[in-house]
Amino acid sequence: MKLPDIYTDWKIVVGLGLIMLGAANWIIGVERTQIYSRMIVAHQQPSAAATDYRSFDELDAGAGGAVLEPLTAEERRASYATARMDFYHAAFLTGRVMVLLGVLFTLLGFISVIQQDSRRAFRRPDDDAHLPHALPGAPRVPR
């Protein structure tokens, strides 16, 4: 097996590319998900979390239509942070899948390169292909 055999096999090249791209997505996704989850925890209001479970039918007249009011600036920042955290969580999961597929492609590529190399080692040279098969050790007829 030679180096040109490795970098000319498309499965190995695609696999290594997927591993690098997936690892970058994975690392960035983990870091940014942690950052935005900390932001969400910091902006979370304990009083709002206590009434989030109630449905519209269970709201009493004392709520004063608080459900339909627009978001405050703090709630809007927390909402944006939640959306960003969801995006980076998807990037993190996609990175994991890409790394797994890259490892699989690379493994299959190396298996195929090794198989081709072993076939090449056992193949008869082209210049002896026209000669008839003889007994091992028998002298060959000159051309």
Residue 24's pLDDT is 97
Identity of residue 130: H
**Predicted pLDDT of residue 93:** 96
Q: Over the stretch 51-73, which tens digit does the pLDDT of each residue have?
A: 555 565 565 555 555 555 667 77
Instruction: Say if CB 25 and CB 91 are below 8 A apart.
Output: yes
Segment 87-114 mean pLDDT: 95
What is the rounded CA–CA span in Å between residue 105 and residue 94?
16
Q: In angstroms, what CA-CA distances link 78 with 26, 28, 69, 87?
A: 24, 20, 16, 14
What percentage of the chain exceeds 90 in pLDDT? Answer: 37
pTM: predicted TM-score of the whole model, two decimal places:
0.64
Half-sphere exposure of 123 (CA within 13 A, CB side): 9
Query: Which residues, 6+ apart, have CB-to-CB distance to 44 below 8 Å?
Result: 78
Q: DSSP letter at 9?
A: -
pLDDT for position 133: 61
Residue 30 CA to residue 42 CA, distance in Å, equals: 19
At residue 29, the pLDDT reads 94
Q: Please name the residue that has the structure tokens 């097996």.
A: 1
